[in-house]
Structure 1
Amino acid sequence: MEGRKISILGCGWLGITLLQRLIEYGCEVKGSTTTERKLKTIKGYGATPYLLDLDKLDVNILKLFLAESGVLIINIPPRRKIKEVKSYSKVLEGILPFLNNDQKVIFISSTSVYQNTNNWVDESFDLYPETDSGMAVLNAEKCLKDDLGERLTILRFAGLIGKDRHPGAFLAGRKDLLNGNAPINMIHQEDCIGLILEVIKKEFWGEVINGVTSEHPLRKDFYTQATQALGLEEPTFQEENVTIYKLISNVKSVNQLGYTYLHDNPMEVI
């Protein structure tokens, strides 16, 4: 990894920690943010900061941000506003003309692209997202794949937990929640970063990979234990005869990418 030149588009909760790890590995890293206050933070970790807003794209800054980087990591989820969700793929499409033919891309996607099946789903499934954000992410995947082909690897991460994102705060005190008997799909921040690093180290390009723990505890068990761990009010769940869910498989990440999860059971994280 030492000496690799990498650009991270989006240094939020996951991106800023990834940036630190890459610096520790001896990579030359550029990090983008949309807020001026974070420029100092990025620079403080030893990376080169760029103020870059794709909604108000400054082409000159984008060119500098991409210049000489062998790998671009796109880590910008769609915002929740309907208008911005619908424009998500078009915003990302604006980057493509400025990539050279040698640059590889990792797109941080989401398991929200999968529909509920009440069974296992993997990377080979035909996709019919059930939310606007899931459809936006799938459209972005297609847009990037059409242009980049085998230079693109897509990482579909499940629900994110980890440092500064303890699940105990997610549903604390909520009442009469649905789907308490549904199995959950989660991944720890450290494993997100581990999968990204593994893709780069092994040059695992042209692939789609799920990132998710092997264990899938029930929603009510997980969030009850999580709130207890923080001393918060436990959520309550309705008694239901019908449960709607999907079980995301991580078999490809383990068997083909060869990744070993550091946190493979969400119940042990909390």
Structure 2
Amino acid sequence: MRIVVTGREGQVDTSLQVLGEAMGIEVIRVGLPEVDLSAPETLAGPIRAAKPDVIISSAAYTAVDKAESEASLAQAINGDAPGELARIAADLNIPILHLSTDYVFAGGKEGVYEESDVPAPVSVYGRTKLSGELQIATATPNHVIVRTAWVYSPYGNNFVKTMLRLGESRDEINVVADQRGCPTYAPEIARALLIVAQRVVTDADPALRGVFHLTGQGETTWAGFAEAVFDGSVRRGGKAVKVNPIPTEAYPTPAKRPANSRLSGEKLAKIYDLRLDPWHVSLEDCLARLLGAPVGKE
């Protein structure tokens, strides 16, 4: 199987490359300079030349706060480019998998968000990601839209690596404690995407298509996530860092964040028999890759 993946330096596309090689799947990552998501017209040539069996749309404009002042650029990358990718997939008669986000929801629901809940984004980033979803659904029924949240990994920029970097120079850190979500490990996302890709390439069942939620099992707050990161660092010989829980209003940002980012994974589990590992388990793997094994263990 040959997969074309958008992005060359992101957490998920890097994970797809690494895992694809281990699974014997050919993963072709496309990105700058030959492919520019802000100019969707650049997509067709390189993708057609690769002759893929499936397209995975993983690259995105992810600067959530900056998007508030760069709405047109975010729309081109997050909305229009995925729409063009879906049209290319339709022309090639192949499926497209697209990575979306919890930010399509407002975050005001009491319980976990289901795929059937009506999106209501409260930020430019969220609105542009929803635009991408809608354009894909309009362009081809042969799509799988996967919403995820709180992505971290040993690669790229993410919350875990930021906490470890800040902890090197600080004894305590203020972290928001009233936003809840499910930390999700990019290598686990990649594993799930490859499993889904293998299914939809060989099985035309409409039940395998549509929107699915994919997150690590369990939930926490950003402050709780930070505490787990530093606990794992201390077990590996790092210094102790105190996490001070603060409310969202004490850390104002240009873009509003969902207070509730929890996504239900039951649909994916039912249809694909797929569940990600509990986030604490995945975090241990991430820290082991970044910092090594805990002190006293091989």
* Pairwise TM-score range, normalised by the shorter structure: 0.7 to 0.9
Deviation at 1:79, TM superposition (A): 4.4
Work out whether residues 9 and 73 of structure 1, in 8 Å CA contact, stay in contact via their aligned partners in 2: yes
Distance 1:126 1:177, change over 3 A: same
**Residue ranges of structure 2 left out of the alignment (5+ in a row):** 201-206, 234-238, 249-257, 285-298
Aligned counterpart, 2:60: 77
Which residue of 1 is the match for residue 272 of structure 2? Answer: 257
Deviations 1:102-139 (A, max 9, x none): 11100011111122113221111011012211111011
The verdict on how the C-alpha distance between 1:95 and 1:69 changes in structure 2, with shifts beyond 3 A counting, is same
**SS at structure 1 position matched to 2:180:** coil
Matched with 1:18 is: 16
Percent identity between the aligned chains?
Answer: 12
Which residue pairs with 1:198 in the alignment?
195
In structure 2, what is the equivalent of residue 229 of structure 1?
A: 232
Distance 2:23 2:175 in 1: 43
Greater helix proportion: 2
> Normalising by structure 2, what TM-score?
0.72
What RMSD, in angstroms, separates the aligned Cα atoms of the two structures? 2.8
Matched with 2:289 is none
Equivalents in 1 of 2:131, 2:273: separation in Å? Answer: 28
Pick 1 or 2: higher relative contact order, CA cutoff 8 A, min separation 6. Answer: 2
Q: 5 Å matches for 1:148-227?
A: 148-149=140-141, 151-164=142-155, 165=158, 167=160, 169-170=162-163, 172=167, 176-178=174-176, 180-203=177-200, 205-227=208-230
* Residues 55, 96 of structure 2: 8 Å contact kept: yes
Taking the aligned partners of 1:29 and 1:225, their CA distance within structure 2 comes to 33
Q: Does the 8 Å CA contact 2:148/2:263 hold for their aligned counterparts? A: no
Q: Counterpart of 1:125 in structure 2: which amino acid?
A: D
Write the letter of the residue equivalent to 2:160.
P
Letter in 2 for 1:107: H
Q: Residue 8 of structure 1: which of 2, 5, 14 is its match? A: 5
Q: 1:251 and 1:66, CA in 2 relative to 1: closer, same or farther beyond 3 A?
A: same
Check the 8 A contact 1:63/1:98 in 2, yes or no. Answer: no
Query: Residue 6 of structure 1 contacts residue 29 of structure 1 at CA under 8 Å; is this kept in 2?
Result: yes
Say which of 122, 141, 144 aligns to 1:130. 122
8 Å Cα contact 2:149-2:181 kept in structure 1:
no
Q: Is the 8 A contact 1:162 1:188 kept in 2?
A: yes
Write the distance in 2 (CA, Å) between the matches of 1:79 and 1:220.
21
1:260 aligned partner, one-letter code: R
Deviation at 1:17, TM superposition (A): 2.2
Which residue number in structure 2 is paired with residue 120 of structure 1?
112
For 2:20 and 2:193, the matched residues in 1 are separated by: 10
Q: How many residues align?
A: 246
Q: 1:105 to 1:237 in 2, by over 3 A?
A: same
